[in-house]
Amino acid sequence: MSGIRIKGTGFSVPEHIITNEYLSQIVDTNEEWILTRTGIEHRHHLSKESHSDLCTWAARMALKNAGIQPDEIGACIVATLTADDLVPSAACALQRDLGLPQDSICFDLSAGCTGFVFALHTMECLLANNKKKYGLVVGCETLSKIINWEDRSTCILFGDGAGATVVEFDENYSSIQAIYGASGNDQILRVNGVDPNKRSLIYMEGKAVFKFAVEVVPYCLDEMLKRTGKKIDDVDFFVFHQANARIIDYVVKKYHIPAEKYYKNISEYGNTSAASIPIVLAELWEQKKINKNSCVLCIGFGGGLTWGGAMLEFS
Ligand code: ACO
């Protein structure tokens, strides 16, 4: 048995705050609708920062908290679909900006809001065949760049941000237990690719995605408990992708998960897609709600359609 554990976490969000009140001036909506239907009070959007800045700031914080130097990193994955450039990738830009070793493998991974969970599993596989034992896994999204401002049902949802983790591989750790899936459904959630005649914008049928979410999150949770032989009480903390407070409320009610074992920061950041789970992990660590002995179950779902769960430990 061998596997990874989280050694350090960090996060970063842009300074500029977009309030519900501001949105109600530019689209036909109101503060109360947004808050009650989504749980979002405000979100942060890029102004003078770049995607690359957010990645770098979050990764620097994670490296510092882990006590690891950039030259100790063997691989870097950025889960994202909104990097500044297609080439170089966000991970290669991070390699340059942090001074990661030239022989480290660096690439972006696109799996929507499940990206960070997919990236953790991918990193575990990479480090199993790497002479270095530390890896950098970042989730960063700047969805404000691809918001359709003519669609009031989606433009209110998304925020920008980055969350980063330094992971440590060890022959004596057990592998992260994980479950993954994807369906290739492009009917209810998609962002079209580069096209000289058409802007890339988020298209989402919110109700259908909501229905998908409240089916797939319990599925992932049940499968993860079955796979690990754990019960709800054995899990120290549940980290759900922050897409809508009502999705989290539904799941915690269904499983009787007590308030001190889950967390919502959607009111402050909105849906930051691939960044949402690592931002929550970084905040939980900072607030000392999780520690080295914690067993944390993360569940992500979103564009692809994709879904995944991972039981994480910390070192
Ligand atoms: N302000 C006011 N009214 C609105 C707004 C708005 N911003 N948006 C929609 N409405 C209206 C609709 O037009 C509709 O009006 P009608 O009844 O007269 O037709 C009414 O509100 C209800 O609309 P619904 O779409 O049914 O609203 P719902 O309660 O489902 O909330 C939402 C919409 C917030 C998008 C919700 O469906 C949701 O959160 N879905 C899940 C999103 C998700 O999980 N995404 C994850 C993946 S994202 C990724 O991967 C990048």
Alpha-carbon separation of residue 122 from 150, 181, 225, 276 (angstroms): 37, 14, 21, 18
Q: What is the pTM of this model?
A: 0.97
Instruction: Give the per-residue pLDDT at 177.
Output: 86
Whether 65 is catalytic is no
Instruction: Give the per-residue pLDDT at 270.
Output: 98
Q: What does DSSP assign to residue 262?
A: B
| pLDDT tens series, the chain, 315 aa | 799 999 999 999 999 999 999 999 999 999 999 999 999 999 999 999 999 999 999 999 999 999 999 999 999 999 999 999 999 999 999 999 999 999 999 999 999 999 999 999 999 999 999 999 999 999 999 999 999 999 999 999 999 999 999 999 999 998 888 889 999 999 999 999 999 999 999 999 999 999 999 999 999 999 999 999 999 999 999 999 999 999 999 999 999 999 999 999 999 999 999 999 999 999 999 999 999 989 999 999 999 999 999 999 998
Give all domains of the chain, ordered by start, each with its CATH number. Answer: 1-315 (3.40.47.10)
Check 51, 76, 271, 298 and give the catalytic one: 271
- 218: preceding bond cis by omega (within 30 degrees): no
Nearest-CA residue for ligand 1 atom 27 is 207
Check 76, 113, 140, 155 and give the catalytic one: 113
At 136, phi and psi to the nearest 5? -115, 120
Instruction: Give the per-residue pLDDT at 178.
Output: 87
Instruction: Give the per-residue pLDDT at 163.
Output: 98
Which residues have C-beta atoms less than 6 Å from ligand 1?
29, 33-34, 37-38, 112-113, 152-153, 156, 189, 206-207, 209-210, 213, 243-244, 271, 273, 302-303
**E strand or H helix that includes residue 249:** helix 245-254
Strand partners, 170: 3
Which of 154, 189, 210 has most ligand 1 atoms within 8 Å of CB, for mutation?
210
- CB neighbourhood size of 101 (10 A): 15
Nearest-CA residue for ligand 1 atom 26 is 207
Check 20, 220, 241, 298 and give the catalytic one: 241
Q: Which two tokens stand for residue 312?
A: 């994480």
